[in-house]
Amino acid sequence: MQVVAKVKPIEINFTCQQIVDGLKNDVDLRKLQLFQNNFFQKFKGYIYKIAIQKCVNFSDSRELATDITQQTFISAFRKIKNFDLSRESDSTKHEAILKAWLGIIANNCFNKEYAKKKNWISIDDLELGQVDTHYDLFDSLYGEEPIETPNEFRLKLREVMKNLTEVQRHVIETYANEGCINDPTRKLSSNAMSLLCELHTTNSANIRQIKKRTLDKIKKHCF
């Protein structure tokens, strides 16, 4: 699949299935441009939001999130011919399926950047540790699931993390990534706090309160 030059997007409301079919047809380059831009405009906000949440603790978080967003769509255009949306007969689920698929690609792009930087930390048994891709935010709908044998505590942790709201999960993971969970004397960096406040349209006092309540909920469920 070739990636063609960016052109001004045309406002046409295609269905998700029409977009996928259009991206698979690279015979007519003008139509391919149309579908690539329609696909990008439809999902770029969703992917960028995921990327900025993943990159919040890097000093160049915005630039890195933009790069990951671009890498995600370039990779998606190359992989789209092997993606079968028609396996789901309910068209109302197609957008969610595409988001999940793009989310997995975005997560892989982030992991590649993490491998270069080697300084990303994740919540793992409420302690600091290296990133575990088995516990990322994206669920694979059609791909193979990783083989793992989590212990009882990990099962409880995964269960409670899935039941958190997006804001709660993002806040608690950001604190964990900066080592603020097990060290109450350590404060969240100003850059991370500013991004949390901006993304969730709130202030630092509310972010700290969300962190406290979420951590209490996790501990109550796991212990």
* Predicted local distance difference test score (pLDDT) of residue 186: 81
Which pLDDT value is given to residue 20? 94
Question: Greatest CA span in the chain, whole angstroms?
Answer: 60
Q: Is residue 173 pLDDT above 50, yes or no?
A: yes
Each residue's pLDDT tens digit, 78-111: 999 888 888 888 999 999 999 999 988 998 888 8
Say if CB 207 and CB 196 are below 8 A apart. yes
> Considering the chain, what percentage of its residues have pLDDT values greater than 70?
75
User: What is the pLDDT, as a whole number, of residue 131?
Assistant: 35
pLDDT at 74: 92
Q: Which of residues 217 and 145 earns the better pLDDT score?
A: 217
Kindly state the tokens that stand for 191. 């850059």
Contacts 24+ apart (CB under 8 A), 36-39: 36/3, 36/4, 36/77, 37/6, 37/7, 37/8, 37/9, 37/10, 38/9, 38/10, 38/12, 38/14, 39/73, 39/76
Q: What would the mean pLDDT of 181-202 be, rounded to a whole number?
A: 79
Q: Which CATH architecture has domain 11-119?
A: Orthogonal Bundle (1.10)
pLDDT at 4: 55
Place of tokens 């698929």: 101
**Letter for the amino acid at 47?**
I
Which 3 state secondary structure label does DSSP give 123? Answer: strand
Q: What is the three-state SS of 169-205?
A: HHHHHHHHHCCCCCCCCCCCCHHHHHHHHHHHCCCHH
Q: CA-CA distance, 65 to 94, in Å (whole number)? A: 25
Q: What band does 68 get if pLDDT is binned at 50, 70 and 90?
A: very high
Range with the poorest average pLDDT among 36-50, 55-69, 73-87, 95-109: 55-69
Q: Which DSSP category does 127 fall into?
A: E
* pLDDT confidence band for 6 (50 / 70 / 90): low
- Three-state SS for 122? strand
pLDDT given for residue 144 in this prediction: 40
Q: Which residue has the higher pLDDT, 131 or 163?
A: 163
Task: Name the more confident of 2 and 94.
Answer: 94
Give per-residue pLDDT as tens, 117-126: 654 444 444 4
Tell me the C-alpha distance between 18 and 38, whole Å. Answer: 11
What is the pLDDT, as a whole number, of residue 16?
A: 93
CATH 1.10.1740.10-classified regions of the chain:
11-119
Classify 11 as helix, strand or coil. Answer: coil
Q: Which of 17-31, 152-166, 206-220 has the lowest mean pLDDT?
A: 152-166
pTM over 0.75: no
Mean pLDDT of the chain: 77
